[in-house]
C-alpha cells in the first residue's frame, strides 16, 4: 500500500491534490469516506483545478472541472453534467487504516 496522507488532513467535505509516482491525483471526503481520482478531466485531458486542491462545486456535493464546469459524482466519478457527460474520472482505490489514507497500489500512467 502507498501512503497518501493522514486522515485528519482530509476533513469531511474537503478536497486535496497529490502527486504520486508522477501522476496528479485528487482526494475528496464525503459522508466519511475518502475517494481518490486522477486529476485529469475526460473532456480535454487537463487537470480539473485552477487552484491547487480546489475540486468541489459551491455546495461541496460534486466535483467540478474549473475549465468548462463539468460536474462529477464524488462517489463514482461519473460526469453527470457538462461536455463529457457519461464519462468517468479514473478512480484509484484507497483505504483508511491506522489514521492514514493509503492507495491500494502504486498509480501508473497507463494501467
Ligand atoms: S476540460 Fe474539464 S470540462 Fe472541459
Ligand 1 atom nearest the C-alpha of 69 is 3
Is the residue at 81 inside a domain? Answer: yes
In this prediction, residue 110 carries a pLDDT of: 67
For atom 1 of ligand 1, the residue with the nearest CA is: 44
Is the residue at 57 inside a domain? Answer: yes
The Cβ-side half-sphere exposure at 106, using a 13 Å CA radius, reads 3
Is the residue at 59 inside a domain? Answer: yes
In this prediction, residue 94 carries a pLDDT of: 97
Is the residue at 8 inside a domain? Answer: yes
Helix (H) or strand (E) holding 79: strand 79-81
Domain count, the chain: 1
CA–CA gap between residue 55 and residue 39 (Å, rounded): 9
CA–CA gap between residue 95 and residue 101 (Å, rounded): 6
Is the residue at 51 inside a domain? Answer: yes
What's the farthest any 2 CA atoms get from each other in the chain?
40
Ligand 1 atom nearest the C-alpha of 82 is 3
For atom 4 of ligand 1, the residue with the nearest CA is: 68
- Burial (Cβ within 10 Å: 0-12, 13-18, ≥19) of residue 65: buried
Is the residue at 88 inside a domain? Answer: yes
Query: 51: which 3 cell numbers?
Result: 487552484
Is the residue at 110 inside a domain? Answer: no
Range of the domain at 74: 2-103
Per-residue pLDDT of the chain (111 residues; tens, 9 = 90+): 999 999 999 999 999 999 999 999 999 999 999 999 999 999 999 999 988 889 999 999 999 999 999 999 999 999 999 999 999 999 999 999 999 999 999 988 764
Is the residue at 80 inside a domain? Answer: yes
User: What is the domain-level CATH number for residue 85?
Assistant: 2.102.10.10
In this prediction, residue 108 carries a pLDDT of: 85
In this prediction, residue 65 carries a pLDDT of: 98
Amino acid at each position: 500500500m502507498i501512503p497518501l496522507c493522514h486522515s485528519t488532513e482530509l476533513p469531511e467535505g474537503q478536497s486535496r491534490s497529490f502527486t504520486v509516482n508522477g501522476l496528479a491525483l485528487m482526494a475528496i471526503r464525503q459522508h466519511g469516506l475518502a475517494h481518490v481520482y486522477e486529476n485529469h478531466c475526460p473532456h480535454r485531458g487537463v487537470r480539473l483545478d485552477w487552484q491547487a486542491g480546489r475540486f468541489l462545486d459551491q455546495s461541496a456535493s460534486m466535483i467540478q472541472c474549473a475549465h468548462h464546469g463539468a460536474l462529477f459524482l464524488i462517489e463514482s466519478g461519473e460526469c453527470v453534467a457538462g461536455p463529457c457527460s457519461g464519462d468517468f474520472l479514473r478512480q484509484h482505490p484507497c483505504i483508511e487504516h491506522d489514521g492514514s489514507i493509503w492507495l491500494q497500489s502504486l498509480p501508473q500512467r497507463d494501467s
